[in-house]
Structure 1
Amino acid sequence: MLDGSAFQYVVSVGVEIVEDLVIDWVGRHIYFADSGRKHIVVCDFYAAICSVVISGQLDKSRAVAVYPEEGLLFWSDWSSSSHIGSAGMDGSQRTNVITADIIWPNGLSVDETIQRIYWVDGKLNRIESSRIDGSDRKILPFKVTHPYALDIFENTIFWCDPLEHEVLSVNKFTGKDYKILMKEASLTPTGIHVHHPSKQSHLTNPCRNVICSHLCLLSPTPTRL
């Protein structure tokens, strides 16, 4: 379990505008996008040690997602050069995987079962997916309005629409079984996460028996920070 006092410390010091936050359940770290400081930060669960892993060429960092099995970190950014980027979870091997025909990439999720990323574009009003390297890009065959955040579980995409005060779902392959799961005028949902044991693959943490002076982070190739 997380220690409450440590958690409060790492999210309240040196932070301006947290847009999104994800958990690395293997390495036991917290990653979050801070659009105020224009960077992405990783913090240790317990020791309250933090480090900037992605900075520069970010304007409005919005969403973050991790793929621990491959040691990969993904993020989205709104700017004059809006994009979806990827890097090792230690910040190494940085690259932009989606750069064209993208405006407001709000939500972002990794579907580890088929090795694809999914994202919503709040300006183009659509949900898209691609392989983790950005290839085989597809627009999903259903209409959405004002999408803001999304997550994947098995064959279903879940997303939220804050302007319509809705949480919705649809089959990720066919676009069928379109449902409004929740609609409540008093709610303005801007984040959604599905939690289930099957979404967290049982992997050995390669940092468990390693002594590091700061943080030991997952990456496509073993690296220490």
Structure 2
Amino acid sequence: MVLIWLQIFLLILINGFTPGSSQDSSEDHETSIKPYLLLANTFDIRRLNFDGTDYRFLTAGLSETVALDYDYSTGYMYFSHNDGQTTKISRAPLSSGYPVTDIITTSLGAPDGLAVDWVNRKLFWTDGALNLIEKSNVDGSQRGVLISSGTHKPRGIALDPHADYMYFTDVGDTAPSIQRARMSDGFYRQIIINSGLLRPNGLTIDYEESRLYFGDAHTDKLESCNLDGTNRRVILDRPSTFHPYALSLFHDRLYWSDILQHHIMNADKNTGSSRVRIEGYFAYPTALHVVHPSRQLLESKICLSVCLSVCVSVCFNTDKNTGSSRVRIEGYFAYPTALHVVHPSRQLLENRDWCEANEGLGSCQHVCRNIYNGFVCTCLQGFEPVHDDPNNCQDYVLQLLPFLFSAFIIR
């Protein structure tokens, strides 16, 4: 074991590094909690500090470990992998990597993207073989399909729970794109970028600046845009990047993995300057995250100022500059005209179970769920909403069985 660890090295090659500059500030001054990198390396999951210390394996002996995310407040990481026979989504303690508990073990094709809703304790994943985006509780229960049409090969996914939006990439050859939709039900779907893309593998959200960052493995570009796709700009282009796959972000630094050059990079998120390369016997680093509580705030900073002392549930932004709203707790809703959501005793909130009020399942064929100011219907595993009647479900598995045999596709 000692000889093995002696063979593992970490080499940081720094371009334009200045002591005391932002890339050297690995400790967040607001909370004094030191951030670190968490990465899926196809055959294992590893962690390391920004300065290369505490570099170690968390979970080893894996195969086809492509997607990865974590829940900071509960201390778990979630990842997709294959045990040689079955493609799975599993979880393990973030601190030790063991024990590994399987969460989803059936009807998975190629779950290449995975994201944790750390506010509502939900799990989201993309499946490029089945052309689906699915959602479940973090324990794998209440599984359902959010998006089953209009995509060719969904891959990267990032969540903004405080705004109820998920962002995802489609790397299909015919129409690569970046899209967003509502997390709660998959509705209000938009294609925010559909030009100048070839293989947009990964993306991440800058919650402080309300911007989206994404990398394209075929154009070799790292870019950013507003959350609606406007104000798009290139951060880095070839030859500074080669095959970017996964992205993460911390304050003014953008981090990304390169699965062909087998290293991790970071640079200034606005200019692409002061690039840092981290090498450490990486095989194919397919997922990358900065682990820190500031990347998973349980309530919005704007909401803290607007709703302080008056919100009774989780508060979230509706507009960065003008105001806020709130995410209901189960069965609650807020009047949409209320900017400052106050205590129920002031009669602006109503405790109501919309599904119960609509005769149990309401008009839903399978599952009824309370949402903001109403309810939505979702389908059980193996079904999808009927196109013209989303309250009813239809079987989609039989139509997609041929794709199950191409679970692991060259990326």
TM-score normalised by the chain length of structure 1: 0.89
Does structure 1 retain, via aligned residues, the 8 Å contact 2:104–2:140? no
Cα distance between partner residues in 1 of 2:104 and 2:176: 26
Cα distance between partner residues in 1 of 2:162 and 2:151: 26
Aligned pairs for 1:166-185 (under 5 A) are 166-184=263-281
Relative to 1, partners in 2 of residues 1:74 and 1:30: Cα closer, same or farther, differing over 3 Å? Answer: same
Relative to 1, partners in 2 of residues 1:96 and 1:60: Cα closer, same or farther, differing over 3 Å? Answer: same
Relative to 1, partners in 2 of residues 1:217 and 1:165: Cα closer, same or farther, differing over 3 Å? Answer: farther
Amino acid at match of 1:103: L
Counterpart of 2:117? 24
2:292 is aligned with 1:199 = no
Amino acid at match of 1:85: Q
- TM superposition shift of 1:116: 0.8
Cα distance between partner residues in 1 of 2:194 and 2:150: 13
- TM superposition shift of 1:217: 8.1
The CA RMSD measured in Å over matched residues stands at 2.6
- State the secondary structure of the residue aligned to 2:291: coil
- TM superposition shift of 1:47: 6.0
2:131 is aligned with 1:38 = yes
Counterpart of 1:48? 141
Relative to 1, partners in 2 of residues 1:6 and 1:103: Cα closer, same or farther, differing over 3 Å? Answer: closer
Counterpart of 1:111? 206
Cα distance between partner residues in 1 of 2:371 and 2:251: 25
List gaps (5 residues or longer) in structure 2: 1-73, 79-88, 92-100, 300-312, 315-326, 332-352, 356-360, 362-366, 378-411
- TM superposition shift of 1:36: 1.1
Relative to 1, partners in 2 of residues 1:6 and 1:151: Cα closer, same or farther, differing over 3 Å? Answer: closer
Deviations 1:117-139 (A, max 9, x none): 11000000010111010000001
Higher-RCO chain (CA-CA 8 Å, sequence separation at least 6): 1
Relative to 1, partners in 2 of residues 1:6 and 1:209: Cα closer, same or farther, differing over 3 Å? Answer: farther
In the alignment of these two chains, the number of paired residues is: 223
Relative to 1, partners in 2 of residues 1:159 and 1:215: Cα closer, same or farther, differing over 3 Å? Answer: farther
Candidates 322, 330, 342, aligned match of 1:209: 330
2:125 is aligned with 1:125 = no
Counterpart of 1:155? 252
Relative to 1, partners in 2 of residues 1:217 and 1:119: Cα closer, same or farther, differing over 3 Å? Answer: farther
Amino acid at match of 1:84: I
Counterpart of 2:160? 67
Deviations 1:156-212 (A, max 9, x none): 11100111110111010122220012242x521111111210111223443543366
Cα distance between partner residues in 2 of 1:193 and 1:215: 34
Does structure 2 retain, via aligned residues, the 8 Å contact 1:109–1:119? yes
Percent of aligned pairs sharing the same letter? 26
Amino acid at match of 2:289: H
Relative to 1, partners in 2 of residues 1:69 and 1:105: Cα closer, same or farther, differing over 3 Å? Answer: same
- State the secondary structure of the residue aligned to 2:283: coil
Cα distance between partner residues in 1 of 2:121 and 2:298: 13
Counterpart of 1:146? 243
List gaps (5 residues or longer) in structure 1: none
- TM superposition shift of 1:13: 1.5
- TM superposition shift of 1:6: 8.6
- TM superposition shift of 1:68: 0.9
Relative to 1, partners in 2 of residues 1:81 and 1:41: Cα closer, same or farther, differing over 3 Å? Answer: same
Cα distance between partner residues in 1 of 2:205 and 2:374: 21
Cα distance between partner residues in 2 of 1:25 and 1:35: 24
TM-score normalised by the chain length of structure 2: 0.50
- TM superposition shift of 1:141: 4.1
Cα distance between partner residues in 2 of 1:19 and 1:81: 18
Does structure 1 retain, via aligned residues, the 8 Å contact 2:223–2:236? no
Relative to 1, partners in 2 of residues 1:52 and 1:137: Cα closer, same or farther, differing over 3 Å? Answer: same
Aligned pairs for 1:55-94 (under 5 A) are 55-79=148-172, 80-89=174-183, 90-94=185-189
Cα distance between partner residues in 1 of 2:143 and 2:179: 21
Does structure 2 retain, via aligned residues, the 8 Å contact 1:21–1:64? yes
Cα distance between partner residues in 2 of 1:156 and 1:21: 22
- TM superposition shift of 1:46: 3.4
Relative to 1, partners in 2 of residues 1:215 and 1:151: Cα closer, same or farther, differing over 3 Å? Answer: farther
Deviations 1:84-109 (A, max 9, x none): 00011020100100001111001111
